[in-house]
């Protein structure tokens, strides 16, 4: 598989669940196909896995979100989400897989950073360790 190969639903699920404390839920009874990936009870990714084209909505730093939208036509403001803080990425192969994985990790990190310190410690989050060591 090349770096530009499109994500499959299985690869997207695996990428979202590889983080400590990440869970998948289907919280919408009227839309059971929608998977919400959470950490500490907060959403960091949202996708209708059976949908074609496959998309994922991810939390993003507002300035980076705007830059990504201008650089990649497959990245737009979050669908049905706060467009300042969320992007929706069409996983058609036009956005490099490495970048998509980085965006998933960034989304997870943004959410974890907003969680109470006790939760961050339980997750053994690298960002919390960096704060403790003064990095």
Helix axes 97-113, 126-133, angle to 10 degrees: 60
Q: For the chain of 135 residues, list the mean pLDDT of each consecutive stretch of 10.
A: 68 96 96 96 96 96 96 94 94 94 97 92 74 55
Q: What pLDDT does residue 134 have?
A: 55
Could you tell me if 126 and 114 are in contact, meaning their C-beta atoms sit under 8 angstroms apart?
Answer: no
Amino acid 27: pLDDT: 95
pTM of the model: 0.89
Q: How close are the terminal C-alpha atoms of the chain, in Å?
A: 37
Peptide bond preceding 115 in cis form (omega within 30 of 0):
no
């Amino acid at each position: 598989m090349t770096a530009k190969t499109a994500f499959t639903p299985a690869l997207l699920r695996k990428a979202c669940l590889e983080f400590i404390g990440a869970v998948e839920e289907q919280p919408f009874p009227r839309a059971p196909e929608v998977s919400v990936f959470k950490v500490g009870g907060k959403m960091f990714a949202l996708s209708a896995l059976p949908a074609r084209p496959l998309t994922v909505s991810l939390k993003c730093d507002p300035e980076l979100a705007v830059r990504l939208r201008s650089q990649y036509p497959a990245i737009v403001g979050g669908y049905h989400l706060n467009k300042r803080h969320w992007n929706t990425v069409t996983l058609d192969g036009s956005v490099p897989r490495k970048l998509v994985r980085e965006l998933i990790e960034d989304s997870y990190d943004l959410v974890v950073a907003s969680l109470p310190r006790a939760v961050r410690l339980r997750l053994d989050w690298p960002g919390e360790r960096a704060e403790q060591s003064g990095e």
